[in-house]
Amino acid sequence: KQEVTQIPAALSVPEGENLVLNCSFTDSAIYNLQWFRQDPGKGLTSLLLIQSSQREQTSGRLNASLDKSSGRSTLYIAASQPGDSATYLCAVDNYGQNFVFGPGTRLSVLP
């Protein structure tokens, strides 16, 4: 059974800092991994999708990496801004089965 964990559970940084969020999964036989952001009372916003054959994906200030063999993914946020404050979730897709979400990392970027 796939299990997904995220570290840290919460993170508070001053504006402008670069930061890394971590996602770990127990079963490396994944189809893809997706990073989302969640704001209170809103639907999940897709940030990046990494296929199992890829090593990383970039979008603006965001960079996500994937190391399937070690069961890890990282989300790198460059030059953080207060608007980045949200909870960041990773979700692992296991070949046709339902996807599994991590518990999330709550990020606060202080002005």
Positions in the binding site for other proteins (CB under 8 A): 34, 36, 38, 40-46, 49, 51, 87, 91, 98-99, 101, 104, 106
When the beta carbons of 76 and 101 are compared against other proteins, the nearer one is 101
When the beta carbons of 91 and 109 are compared against other proteins, the nearer one is 91
Smallest distance from other proteins to CB 1, Å: 15
**CB-based contacts of 101, cutoff 8 Å, min separation 6:** 4, 89, 90, 91
**CB-based contacts of 91, cutoff 8 Å, min separation 6:** 4, 33, 34, 35, 36, 99, 100, 101, 102
When the beta carbons of 17 and 39 are compared against other proteins, the nearer one is 39
